[in-house]
């Protein structure tokens, strides 16, 4: 065998060796990947839930994660779990971290309800609606067209602040399609405030309320939709107070 043949043979042997190494590496990578994705070999051992919560159950959190995201610790998609957690009704914010070697850490910030919205939703303190209900919550009930949640909540807060000296509280607030304000107080009195300058009109009611409270008759409603003054409707003596 001459030198040229020897060189060719060495090159061919080197190529075969290189291909063998590459094949072995690929096979090894595939097997390692299979092993890592095998839930039985690398399961999520523990899901640790922390944060301050009253309406969210750690058991429900764990059930959702294990049901919706089966697989091994290495295969678990943290971003996907994060999205699913924040889609839960009472979860406002969530963070998810993998903890080596096989644990998952979840931190929750729960929704803080500020009002009932249109009877079937709740508003959080930022004026954002979320699909949940509360029985006997003592929260005010706000009504309004879609997209007016924050306007209604801000209006409620401004009005309640004005009413504070009287000791009265708003039980129900209605913001109409034309953005006119109507309010029912915890003593049953209804206030008609109209579309504009509701703060000034409500202040007018606060100023005159001590005089109305001295009357022997019970107030049914106060119409404040005037530039000056107001109109008072009185309950008939034989009329019993009803919830609206």
- Domain boundary residue among 110, 136, 154? 110
The answer to whether the bond into 101 is cis (omega within 30° of 0) is yes
CATH number of the domain encompassing residue 73: 3.10.20.310
Pair 55, 91 in one domain = yes
Residue 5, burial from CB neighbour count under 10 angstroms (0-12, 13-18, 19+): exposed
70 confidence band (pLDDT: 50, 70, 90): confident
Give the per-residue pLDDT at 136: 82
Same domain for 195 and 98: no
Query: Cα 36 from chain centroid?
Result: 35
Domain contains 137: yes
Is pLDDT of 54 > 50?
yes
Strand ranges inside 38-102, DSSP E:
46-52, 91-99
Based on the domain organization, do 106 and 117 belong to the same domain?
no
What confidence tens digit (pLDDT) does each residue in 97-113 have? 999 888 999 999 999 99
pTM: 0.77
- Once rounded to an integer, what is the mean pLDDT over residues 154-179? 96
| Domain containing residue 199 | 113-234
Angle, CA 36 vertex, CA 32 and CA 40 arms, to 5°: 125
């Amino acid at each position: 065998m001459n030198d040229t043949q020897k060189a060719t043979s060495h090159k061919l042997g080197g190529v075969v060796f290189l291909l063998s190494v590459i094949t072995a590496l690929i096979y090894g990578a595939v097997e390692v990947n299979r092993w890592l994705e095998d839930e039985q070999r690398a399961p999520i051992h523990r899901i640790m839930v922390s944060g301050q919560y009253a309406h969210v159950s750690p058991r429900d959190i764990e059930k959702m994660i294990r049901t919706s995201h089966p697989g091994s610790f290495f295969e678990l998609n943290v971003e996907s779990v994060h999205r699913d957690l924040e889609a839960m009704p009472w979860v406002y914010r969530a963070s998810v971290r993998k903890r080596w070697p096989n644990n998952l850490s979840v931190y929750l910030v729960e929704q803080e309800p500020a009002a009932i919205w249109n009877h079937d939703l709740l508003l959080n303190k930022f004026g954002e609606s979320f699909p949940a209900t509360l029985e006997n919550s003592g929260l005010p009930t706000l009504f309004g067209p879609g997209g007016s949640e924050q306007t209604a909540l801000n209006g409620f807060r401004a009005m309640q602040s004005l009413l504070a000296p009287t000791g009265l509280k708003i039980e129900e607030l209605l913001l109409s399609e034309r953005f006119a304000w109507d309010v029912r107080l915890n003593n049953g009195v209804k206030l008609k405030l109209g579309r504009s300058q509701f703060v000034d009109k409500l202040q007018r009611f606060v100023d005159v309320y001590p005089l109305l409270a001295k009357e022997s008759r019970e107030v049914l409603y106060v119409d404040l939709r005037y530039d000056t003054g107001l109109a008072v409707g009185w309950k008939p003596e034989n009329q019993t107070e009803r919830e609206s």
